[in-house]
Structure 1
Amino acid sequence: MENRRPITDWLPITKKEVDKRGWQDLDVIIVSGDAYVDHPSFGTAVIGRIIESEGFRVGIIPQPNWRDDLRDFKKFGAPKYFFGVTGGCMDPMVNHYTANKRKRSTDSYTPDGVAGFRPDYATTVYTEILKELYPEVPVLIGGIEASLRRVTHYDYWSDKLMPSILESSKADLLVYGMGEQSLREILKLLKKGVPFHQLTMVKQTAYLRPKTTGLLKNKNWTDL
């Protein structure tokens, strides 16, 4: 008889799997444009395991359907701390289109390579949905799509300048680059009781400030 590992060895992606762990709710929920594969080549799995290692209850919503009644986004309810959103290991627009703007027929980060399981500009689409469903819950975005679009940028696909993805998505905080250590710092601060909106001094993060608000000061910064 084949010996199978218990489903609880993996991060939960369904409400049933959350219940099997004996959890009533989740601390952090990750929404990803990729399928969930528990392997280092899938960034969502790495980030999920880091969050888990810090003692947080984390679940993943892989490739949610954004075109129906949004039940995928609702299945876990609201997390205690924040939603983490990523478009996936590839920028969704590169994933969808060739350099000649022709539609690709496959998606390497979807089971069987089937295309069409994530939207264009996935990070923005997912975040807008979450902000509509759970306006009181902070959203942290990351991954290659968010990292490369964190400032005003030229969007090849629409042939125009686009504002920061923080503005278009209405996300609360952005972690850019290889953000594992920044994420750990965020998690440690949250465990200490620091409110999410006060996470303004973590390295490799970006957020929007009102124009009327002055720049932050840090004694370790040097003017160039």
Structure 2
Amino acid sequence: MTATTPPLPATKIVIPWRPAPSRIDAFERVVSWYRSALPEVPLHTVDTDDTPFVLAACRNAAMRAAADDEVIVIGDADTIPEREPLVAAIRAAVTSPFVQLPYDEYRWLGASGSAEYGAGVALEDCTVEQYVEGACSGVYVATPRVWSAHGGQDEGFRGWGFEDAAWYLAHTTLLGSAPARHRGRVYALHHVGEVRAGAAYDANAERMQRYRDAAGDEAAMAALVATQRDSVS
């Protein structure tokens, strides 16, 4: 008798997305990968009315739109996971009290590796521009119940930077553990980078410092998360 693989739990894939010329190729490749790897799972994009585009707000909106125990895969529009770690993360998310990260290795392919992938080279064989140590974004897998248990992500981070690192500290402090990682890789595709300078970036850096200061102190982090949420509501 041949064993059958049990179906996935109720799951949706949601990609935060606002079109930008340099990002369209990566976005289309990411969507194509998900539809090929998990054709049975509905895929949607999400955007909010924020200017500039706010990733944290999109991620929170994706969770708010789902049932409490539905598994939501929030994938960045430039990042491709591997199928088996992603499936393992989806199954684990049903009962886990922690957000799942379906990787323990983050590969940024850069222009060369992304061009190779576009030419048909397998992702695992593409040139790697950088191995990003400690990466904690790209693909999140969780139920809205778990996402809300630690406050989701801080929508006060405007423009590029820090919302994922702040989220990681909040999760670890408030839930008593870092997000659960699964052995595997994600691959970030090339696009024009965001400007990492200026008043908005400096404000994000200052906001991030508050999370560093509260890290490890559950009461301080809970108060910070509540305050930051109120400041943008």
Q: What's the TM-score bracket when you normalise by the shorter of the two chains?
A: under 0.3
| TM-score, scaled to structure 1 | 0.27
Could you say which structure has the greater relative contact order, defined with CA pairs below 8 angstroms and 6 or more residues apart? 2
Higher helix share: 2
